[in-house]
Amino acid sequence: MVLRSASSFCLLNANGDHLLPLLNSSSIIRYSQGKSFVPCATKGSNNRPLTGVVFEPFEEVKKELDLVPTVPQASLARQKYTLDAEAIINEQINVEYNVSYVYHAMFAYFDRDNVALKGLAKFFKESSEEEREHAEKLMEYQNKRGGKVTLQSIVMPLSEFDHEEKGDALYAMELALSLEKLTNEKLINVHSVASKNNDVHLADFIESEFLGEQVEAIKKISEYVAQLRRVGKGHGVWHFDQMLLHEEGVAA
């Protein structure tokens, strides 16, 4: 067997005793079978043996070169990104756009002259914009990982939100809470797919960019629902609306 030494090199026996002096980087060590020599890199009195070569980049990269696609339609950046992950991200993009569409319909309703609850209109407009930003963030991530964004149909939302018993403000806020919980459930499903496929990058992306924010939104809207249940359908709704109107960053 032939070993080519590192820049500073010695041989040790099993007890760690030096057998040969230091060799320079061009030295070649030959030994026959039956001899128990352990090569180690050394600096001064350092006699800790090496465990062997760990990484050979020019050898290991050969298999990666075979994975680089040559057809122009295929992504060059894609690595360890499964079809399941690509599909679930496209599904979540659709979820975010659908929720944004519903919130935009709520904004249009509360902005009417015969409804005139400007605080709720502001809240739902900001919420719609935020959900659309989430969709765009997912689209950017899809492209970053080498997937293909496939936009799907968006369902037509309601245009009327007045409820005979609850009134429009409470009904719309309860609907918003249901949508936020549904979105959270869908995001957890994305995280589950990432974990199942050992995609740590996707799992971290969902955790850091979405899940914490979703929990905060659910808590805030839950409080709004509780407050609206207290004030009923009368004058208290106007006061609640004024609170939203003058509150900074009220979007879910």
Known binder of ligand: residue 142? no
Residues 6+ apart with CB under 8 A from 212: none
* Cα gap 71→7, rounded to integer Å: 43
Known binder of ligand: residue 180? yes
Residues 6+ apart with CB under 8 A from 149: 90, 93, 139, 142, 143
Angle at 126 between CA 125 and CA 128, to 5 degrees: 65
Known binder of ligand: residue 163? no
In this structure, the number of other CB atoms found within 10 A of the CB of residue 219 comes to 10
The length of the chain is 252
* Cα gap 172→225, rounded to integer Å: 9
* Cα gap 230→56, rounded to integer Å: 68
Known binder of ligand: residue 96? yes
Any idea of the CA torsion for 244, 245, 247, 252, to the nearest 10 degrees? Answer: 50
Phi, psi of 68, deg, nearest 5: -75, 115
Nearest to 174 by CA among 106, 104, 243, 108: 106
Whose structure tokens read 């589950």? 192
Q: Which two tokens stand for residue 199?
A: 């995609």
Binding residues: 96, 131, 134, 180, 214
Binding residues for Fe cation: 96, 131, 134, 180, 214
